Chains A and B, each alone.
Chain A
């Protein structure tokens, strides 16, 4: 395996977005290998057929080389799981011989060539993009952007790229280990999924480079300091440099409110969003139920509560007793045990 491998991680709810990502990436880099890491199983009536998808390869989360996989999958909610697999995927692609590995979130749209990344990875082993590149000045923007980054992570892990050498390999190994144990949404404990860990990365890995080009990872959290322009010659520029990719985080009313709060009269930003909406709509498969996630339910169809997951992942005795907490068909041991415990508590 050689050259550049790109991957994204998602469940079927995000398939339309991931398709947009893959298609826009392939438009600019037909020679890059695009991987889908699917943290899900197919909903009834829908089959994921790679030959009809813009991805080159697919890896299913339940096929990953992770010890005690069923219990590990169960211990994560959907956001945690889709981020927790990233370290393992990255390490696996490097082991398989990829020269360079780029991760992109499924809600990213590639709008320009990412070729400069390849050159940067000749100089550096790891690339990260900070949420913000310029300080905010207004109080509300400091709260929304800088303080939010202090809580959730300085670098946005919608993007990370590594070269298959030295610190690139070391970063992937370290990140995988941390994510296998602690990829949790627990801001009060100082952890936010895969992202907060990377606050440590510049200190730990000397050949890591902080990418400070405003054309990368443009998103609502940095629009207060970035201006998007579309020139008569057809270029899309961000603070005067070519756009590379836009992170369309939170498609819907919340994303709209934050975008409008910071883009203000920069209507070109709304054009990018309008384009993205059209693309997502086009790639939406109506056969996939809107709230579908295979790991949201026990084998008996009952929903898995977040508290069920938190309890399970915090207790080694439960992990030992219930190796597959989802259960099989009617045999849902962990679910039964939980119900009994709750009944007892109620009495």
Chain B
């Protein structure tokens, strides 16, 4: 999570007394050292000797200091803005002993105010009412720094919240140097005005040209002058440019390019991801819960199960393991589990679901499997939490009470669980059938999506290979595989792959013994009509694409790296000024840093077709689903087909690429340059034109019942054997 430029503040900022209007935009930046800076023009402020710190910000108020190091006793005018509106105007001028000590001379620079005193509007209500963590005094090189612990995810949440809404503007008494004419002329040679205004609509202020906006303010806000130059990257990668505080684009054009300096992050998101990468141990630490739970004894657990099952005629037991509580978490697998549960329950089976209390990206420690805490859900109803050593006797009691009925053991995911505990469950309950679902590749590597260092599909090489040596999952993999192998030796699983692709890859990558491997998808398309896109109202643009209106290109779901958000982001960067395209994001949370149209879509057990409907109503022509890992099924790809949108994906996206191999469904491209080339040329335009005029079949998704299709076979749901 990163703090973002507070657009609201930037757009609506009014000029405060004593504050220059050009400096009245808020800026919040998260630095690598874990500081969050709030101010209007940090580089300029530091250059002019301004230092400061927000040392308290909580539900009571805001306090800190701002000092002009050249004149430390001169009070600095400050203005505090909330959502772009000034709520406090005054000065920072109370004596501060600590700052005086730091500077070695007297300083009158402190400020403090209470929310209730300063605003007739509603007080700023932070997401969590805690304080005390956001405290630090620093004399570092930035104008205003707000220090937070690096590992405090909760704090970041609040930081982002504040950063979006709050701007602390410091009045400065210096005059900006005028822009040199030759700098302007040089920048003009490669400044892309159309791109700039499309990316940063707030630059359309009617007072100055886009180029002037960039030269005076834009570059300081991290705005890029054209798609081929990243201000933030260039400054970050070249400390000498940062120290000189010159316009980085002008520097690049004048000298940097000839010196071979790099203008864009090389290797794109991959380098970015590696830079921000945490070790597996750090991630595990971050995930650790600090709260507690009330554990049920074997007896009370049995009692609760008995109460729940009272009066039921039990025809079978399904003991199901997965990584989280499918009744409250949102996601494709959780959706599938809800459908599986319904099918089992409708057939009279008990659906007993077990997931770890402590979610983890790795297996739970093996040494203490009996102490593993699990959440118990029966037929969708929360029963409570229990340690494995109490749960297993309760399961034995349940089994004894229903001795004659068949038992199915189903493993959907093992993250946070101990395979030893699963094996013990199998030994005690003696299931007739055991299914191990290949929703991901966790049985092959700790890195469940087979992304080496989280950036590149690795094809599961031998664990002692050089590739595994340098991978962030490499060290944990041998022990992980050993535990998986022990589980598969103990339990004779039928492996179930949601696609042919995953079945083949898993067989190639794994030597785990299984009874057989089945291929069973989560849903299929039931066609029920033809979508004629021309029927949808469109705003017609001009230019080449005008004859058919802009192509609506969408990204679906969470904007994550492995789902391909960075590639979509780059696509938007490159083509946001191309009138042939219009970019959309359909998902649960908007990313405000891109000029895309956002539509909120929440898919859940009660509205499984929400995405299909959203795609249809938004008139999306093309979905770019650039997953960088071999997806095992790809529900979004099916939703896309059901809505009649054309799917563009990477050839390494596994089941998604497999799905897109049918020309009427989509297109799988070898790499990112091929994607940009497609958008550059007319190929997409022609495809969409023909689909719009000829119409495309659309329909709805017919969902499978997952394990219930095998445990309780239906004639119409015959699994395909691999």
Contact = CB atoms under 8 A, between A and B. Distances in A.
Contacts of B239: 253, 257
Given A271-B470, A278-B472, A260 B237 contact: yes
Contacts of A263: 266-267
| Max chain B C-beta neighbours (<10 A), residue from A243, A253, A267 | A267
B259 A264 contact: no
B277 A274 contact: yes
B470 A111 contact: yes
Interface of A: 111-112, 138-141, 144, 230-236, 242-243, 253, 256-257, 260-261, 263-268, 270-275, 278, 281
16 contacts: A111-B466, A111-B470, A112-B466, A140-B260, A231-B461, A232-B459, A234-B461, A234-B465, A260-B266, A264-B266, A270-B271, A271-B471, A272-B470, A274-B277, A275-B453, A278-B472
A261 B260 contact: yes
A232 B466 CA distance: 11
| Chain A contact surface mostly | helix
Given A235-B467, A257-B238, A260-B271, A265 B453 contact: no
Contacts of A260: 237, 262, 266, 271
Contact of B260 (A112, A141, A265, A267): A141
Contact of A275 (B271, B275, B456, B469): B469
A276 to B, nearest CB: 9
Contacts of B201: none
A264 B261 CA distance: 10
Nearest to A279: B470
A139 B452 CA distance: 35
Interface in B446-505: 452-453, 455-456, 458-459, 461-462, 465-472
Interface of B: 237-239, 258-262, 266-268, 270-271, 274-275, 277, 279, 452-453, 455-456, 458-459, 461-462, 465-472
Nearest to A274: B274
Contacts of B455: 267, 271
8 tightest Cβ-Cβ pairs between the two chains A and B: A234-B465, A234-B461, A140-B260, A232-B459, A267-B267, A234-B467, A275-B470, A267-B270
Contact of A230 (B267, B270, B467): B467
Nearest to B457: A232
Contacts of A233: 459, 461-462, 465
Given A264-B267, A278-B472, A271 B274 contact: yes
A236 B532 CA distance: 51
Contacts of A261: 260-262
Contact of B266 (A234, A265, A268, A273): A265
A249 to B, nearest CB: 17
A140 B259 contact: yes
Nearest to A236: B466
A240 to B, nearest CB: 15
Contacts of B268: 265
Nearest to A109: B470
B261 A230 contact: no
Contact of A266 (B267, B275, B277, B459): B267
Given A236-B470, A243-B466, A271 B266 contact: no
Nearest to B468: A234
Given A267-B456, A274-B277, A235 B267 contact: no
B465 A235 contact: yes
A132 B568 CA distance: 38
Nearest to B274: A274
| Max chain A C-beta neighbours (<10 A), residue from B238, B453, B465, B470 | B470
A178 to B, nearest CB: 35
Contact of B279 (A230, A257, A278): A278
A303 B277 CA distance: 38
B383 to A, nearest CB: 41
A51 B266 CA distance: 43
Contacts of A253: 239
A111 B465 CA distance: 10
Given A236-B466, A270-B274, 14 more contacts: A141-B260, A231-B461, A232-B459, A234-B468, A253-B239, A260-B262, A261-B260, A263-B266, A264-B262, A270-B267, A273-B274, A274-B275, A275-B471, A278-B472
| Max chain B C-beta neighbours (<10 A), residue from A141, A234, A263 | A234
Given A260-B262, A263-B266, A265-B266, A236 B271 contact: no
A79 B151 CA distance: 36
Contacts of B453: 271, 274-275
A270 B260 contact: no
Contacts of B260: 138-141, 144, 261
B237 A257 contact: yes
A124 to B, nearest CB: 27
A278 B275 CA distance: 11
A271 B452 contact: yes
| Max chain A C-beta neighbours (<10 A), residue from B258, B262, B270, B467 | B467
A251 to B, nearest CB: 14
A20 to B, nearest CB: 12
Contacts of B266: 260, 263-265, 267
A140 B258 contact: yes
